[in-house]
């Protein structure tokens, strides 16, 4: 393959690389490709982002072991990059709901060449794309707790979303904010 046609895979990690931390009663899992925020519920877990696909089995094991859950009920993709959408296929196979911005659903459905990645980002299967989308905002209850999601226009990919947990005063934004910016 040339650099332009080699599919993007990402860095594979080991189980010891995935760490769990408590943030205001939410679980933060790091090391699988991006920060993944989790909230357990009676029907499974709510996750914000899903790490890289190459690390999905290890991340699922860490999430289920750390939260005592058996499935992912809801996954919110803060944007369409592979570090955020790596669990989409597993969540879809487990009949979970995937929430994202409409731009994220569209990009996840096509081959993308990007200067940010070495190679091509392949489309996700249709079943692994967001099943619930918005152009603006969406709010729902999860495990008796309000969750608010909204568009961050012009932030990172054109389809970036924030996820806000008002009870915990925690906002998750994916790619637009980092420790270095």
pLDDT in tens, 130-154: 999 999 999 999 999 999 999 999 8
CA distance 64 to 104: 26
Which residues face 19 on adjacent strands?
30
Local structure of residue 145 (DSSP, 8 states):
E
Instruction: State the maximum Cα–Cα separation within the chain, in Å, rounded to a whole number.
Output: 50
Residue 7 has pLDDT above 70, yes or no: no
- What's the confidence (pLDDT) of residue 35? 95
- What's the confidence (pLDDT) of residue 113? 87
Residue 2 has pLDDT above 50, yes or no: no
Q: What is the pLDDT of residues 27-69, one digit of tens each?
A: 999 999 999 999 999 999 999 999 999 999 999 999 999 999 9
Query: DSSP readout, 69-94?
Result: -SSEEEEE-SSSSHHHHTTHHHHHHT
Prediction pTM value: 0.93
């Amino acid at each position: 393959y040339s650099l332009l046609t080699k599919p993007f895979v990402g860095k594979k990690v080991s189980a010891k690389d995935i760490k769990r931390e408590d943030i205001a009663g939410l679980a933060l899992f790091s090391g699988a490709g991006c920060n993944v925020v989790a909230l357990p519920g009676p029907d499974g877990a709510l996750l914000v982002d899903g790490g890289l696909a190459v690390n999905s089995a290890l991340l699922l094991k860490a999430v289920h072991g750390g939260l005592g859950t058996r499935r992912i009920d809801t996954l919110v993709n803060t944007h369409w990059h592979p570090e955020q959408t790596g669990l989409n296929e597993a969540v879809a196979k487990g009949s979970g709901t995937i929430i994202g911005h409409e731009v994220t659903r569209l990009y996840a459905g096509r081959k993308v060449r990007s200067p940010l990645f070495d190679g091509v980002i392949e489309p996700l299967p249709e079943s692994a794309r967001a099943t619930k989308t918005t152009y603006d905002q969406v709010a729902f209850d999860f495990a008796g707790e309000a969750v608010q999601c909204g568009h961050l226009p012009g932030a990172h990919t054109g389809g970036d979303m924030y996820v806000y947990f008002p009870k915990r005063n925690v906002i998750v934004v994916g790619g637009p904010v980092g420790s270095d910016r």
